[in-house]
Amino acid sequence: MNRKERRAGESARMSPVFVETFNRALQLQQAGQLEQAEALYRKALTMNTGVALLYSNLGVVVYSLGRLPESIPLYKKAIALDPKLSLAHNNLGVTLSALGRLDEALEAFSQTIALVPDDPEPTNNYGDVLVKMSRFAEGAAVLNRALQLRPNYVEAYTNLGTASWGLGKLDEAAACFRRAIALQPDVAMAHKNLGIVSLLTNNFAEGWREYEWRNQADKILPRSYPFPLWKGQPLPTGKLLVWAEQGVGDEILHAGMISDLTQTRGLNVIYEVDPRLVGLMQRTFPDVKVVARAFPHSLETTGSDVSAHISAASMGQFLRLKIEDFHKDRRSYLIADQARSAALRAKLNLAPGEKLVGISWVSTNLNFGKSKSIALKDWGPILRTPGFRFVDLQYGDTDAERAEVQRKLGVTVEHIEGLDLRDDLDGFAALTSVCDLVITVSNSTAHFAGALGVPVWIFISAGVGKFWYWGINSPTVPWYPSATLIRQAADQDWKPCIDDVSQRLAALDR
């Protein structure tokens, strides 16, 4: 045991057997043999329950095994036994941050810094949480302090780059990411974020290349196939398998490049998508074989005549290298079911001249959804605009929110009974297509409306929920010509955006 470990156990009357068990558990932990380490740490607990570092180390092992909530009481027990054990405070903060409990994480790191003010790691962690809370300027100041403590701190440079990105200082962000990469060439998150910043500035060649680090950065296992990755070359024989990744909204975004493969490159394509999108994509791309994604991934659905494969999110490096590649003259590419669209429009029974506005107000993204969402009750100035009918495009159970709006605002938000907006995405596309306008937060509704060519006004967060494909300042984006972006000036302050949209809507009725 090292000096810190001995100090933590001085008052616990550690027996030789306990010390041997603890040390062996520590060796196994350091060797990555986590299950065996956990078993020995728990055995040590049967011998002595008064050693703070034992609980802290066991918490780290449990965290590393993916049981994050279970590690929290272990850290708290360690802190109760030794309130000055900075390691336990820091580990508690790391876990709380990973679970999205950011206020609590901030407090844990604050306690750590109070104990070890010259340790750059808790300072970096504190700054990282501030950035995750969209407190970009505060986070940048703290991260600069971490870099003063450790000038070549790769993680702090990466986090400072994210803070600068959040502040709209893209050149500074790119410089931070490049500095991190120069110090550690394989730091995946810095590469990925440099890719995003480059895409934001229309530096597509560098952007797509660096964005290829996303799987390593996000710890996503790559697909393994017995045929090579497509590198943009012609395929004289065989088919190209394009497989979708990320969420449904991202799939819709990337689908805008499929026609480039078939019509411009003349490739024979198999397109693997979310099972809910098969019908919509097959109608949209009749010259493509569309198959449903299955787990585990198998060649049974794609066939044996595939000669190369590529992720849909990787196609941009070959198909979107300059702004002209986005087909500015093409307003839409998805094709809704026209029969269902007509039936849904008839069901709404609109009055002559009455315009239909589809609305969506929640993002369920686990990391950024809160930053992107706007409570329906706050839409009052929009919903009270005369001359418009509003229809629910929000997936999930919206009954309570719509009832509250009806009760408090006297406004009815129409809801199509029997249409599952989460799982019946072909029906969702049909309903979206009959709207004269869609107003939505940044979720899959925005992508559907844009890809269908429906005029769509999209609320864009100023905080961590601003995604790269919405750009940085412009009210338009090349991906969706029918989209207008309503950008938030300050994180969580949606009132100016709501007022702006209500005035735009009123102007349409004149």
In this structure, are 53 and 139 located in the same domain? yes
Tokens 């066991």, residue?
A: 58
In this structure, are 122 and 260 located in the same domain? no
**pLDDT tens digits for range 15-70:** 899 999 999 999 999 999 999 999 999 999 999 999 999 999 999 999 999 999 99
Does residue 331 lie in a domain region?
no
In this structure, are 165 and 313 located in the same domain? no
Q: Which domain holds residue 504?
A: 338-508
- Counted domains in the chain: 3
E strands along 402-447, which residues? 413-414, 437-441
CATH value at residue 311: 3.40.50
List alpha helices for 167-261, DSSP H: 170-183, 188-200, 204-211, 214-217, 248-255, 258-259
In this structure, are 254 and 212 located in the same domain? no
- The pairs formed by 35-38 with CB atoms below 8 angstroms and a separation of 24 or more are 35/65, 37/61, 38/62, 38/65
pLDDT of residue 320: 94
pLDDT of residue 331: 81
CATH value at residue 29: 1.25.40.10
Rounded-to-integer distance, Cα 65 and Cα 68, Å: 8
The residue-averaged pLDDT of 411-416 equals 94
The residue-averaged pLDDT of 396-424 equals 94
Which residues are bridge partners to 392 per DSSP?
A: 359
In this structure, are 351 and 456 located in the same domain? yes
Angstrom CA distances, 64 to 39, 60, 91, 175, stand at 14, 6, 11, 32
Residues contacting residue 98 through CB under 8 Å, at least 6 positions apart: 68
Indicate the range of 1-10, 93-102, 454-463 predicted with least confidence: 1-10
Task: Spell out a b/e string for 118-144, using b for 16 or more CB atoms within 10 Å of the CB, else e.
Answer: ebbbbbbbbbbbbbbbbbbeebbebbe
pLDDT of residue 301: 61
Does residue 234 lie in a domain region?
no
pLDDT of residue 6: 41
DSSP run (H or E) holding 124: helix 120-132
In this structure, are 284 and 368 located in the same domain? no
pLDDT of residue 492: 75
The residue-averaged pLDDT of 295-319 equals 82
Q: Report whether 242 contacts 298 (CB < 8 A).
A: no
Rounded-to-integer distance, Cα 395 and Cα 29, Å: 44
Rounded-to-integer distance, Cα 365 and Cα 343, Å: 32
Listing DSSP states for 475-500 in one string gives S-BTTBTTEEEEE-SSTT--HHHHHH
Q: Report whether 21 contacts 47 (CB < 8 A).
A: yes
Q: Tokens representing 58?
A: 């066991």
In this structure, are 196 and 265 located in the same domain? no
Say if residue 4's pLDDT is above 50: no
> In this predicted model, which residue has the larger pLDDT, 327 or 488?
488
DSSP run (H or E) holding 241: strand 239-243
> In this predicted model, which residue has the larger pLDDT, 344 or 371?
344
DSSP run (H or E) holding 308: strand 306-311
pLDDT band of 220, cuts 50, 70, 90: confident
Q: Tokens representing 94?
A: 């790391």
Q: Report whether 241 contacts 272 (CB < 8 A).
A: yes
The residue-averaged pLDDT of 454-463 equals 94
Does residue 333 lie in a domain region?
no
The residue-averaged pLDDT of 316-342 equals 90
In this structure, are 380 and 267 located in the same domain? no
**In the predicted model, what is the mean pLDDT of the chain?**
92
pLDDT of residue 23: 95
Does residue 365 lie in a domain region?
yes
In this structure, are 48 and 167 located in the same domain? yes
**pLDDT tens digits for range 237-267:** 899 999 998 899 999 999 999 999 999 899 9
HEC profile for 335-404?
CCCHHHHHHHHHHHCCCCCCEEEEEECCCCCCCCHHHHCCCHHHHHHHHCCCCEEEEECCCCCCHHHHHH
CB atoms within 10 A of CB 463: 20
**pLDDT tens digits for range 465-475:** 678 899 988 99
**pLDDT tens digits for range 132-168:** 999 999 999 999 999 999 999 999 999 999 999 999 9
pLDDT of residue 458: 97
Say if residue 5's pLDDT is above 70: no
Q: Are strands 239-243 and 269-273 parallel, antiparallel or unpaired?
A: parallel
Say if residue 369's pLDDT is above 90: no
Say if residue 295's pLDDT is above 90: no
